[in-house]
Amino acid sequence: MAGENKLFNTKHWLKYLAVILIGNLLYFGLMPYLPAGARHRSFHVDAGTLVDLWFCLIVYGIFELVEFLWTHRKHR
């Protein structure tokens, strides 16, 4: 049972890492096309930081939706 818990945690951490990396790739790839207020300035907490977080949350939501649909598809 302890082995399952460790695998469970590792699986979740890998998913979180993927979400953060994909969200940041999308944000920094689209940053030149965003309005000036939504652009992040290095070493500052600004609106760009919140927009970057928003991108990561959207990616997380997509991951969760796909996982939900995949598990419900298997049970049919």
Predicted pLDDT at 7: 64
Predicted pLDDT at 4: 61
Residue 60: domain span? 2-74
Q: Beta-carbon neighbour count of residue 27 at 10 Å?
A: 22
11-27 per-position pLDDT tens digit: 889 999 999 999 999 99
Q: Three-class SS of residue 75?
A: coil
Yes or no: say if 59 and 26 are a contact pair by the CB < 8 Å rule.
Answer: yes
- Is it the case that residue 68 has pLDDT exceeding 80? yes
Number of structural domains found in the chain: 1
Residues sharing a CB contact under 8 Å with residue 31, sequence separation 6 or more, in sequence order: 39, 40, 48
13-66 per-position pLDDT tens digit: 999 999 999 999 999 999 999 999 999 888 888 999 999 999 999 999 999 999
**Which pair of structure tokens corresponds to residue 46?**
């600004």
Output the pTM of the full model. 0.81
Predicted pLDDT at 73: 83
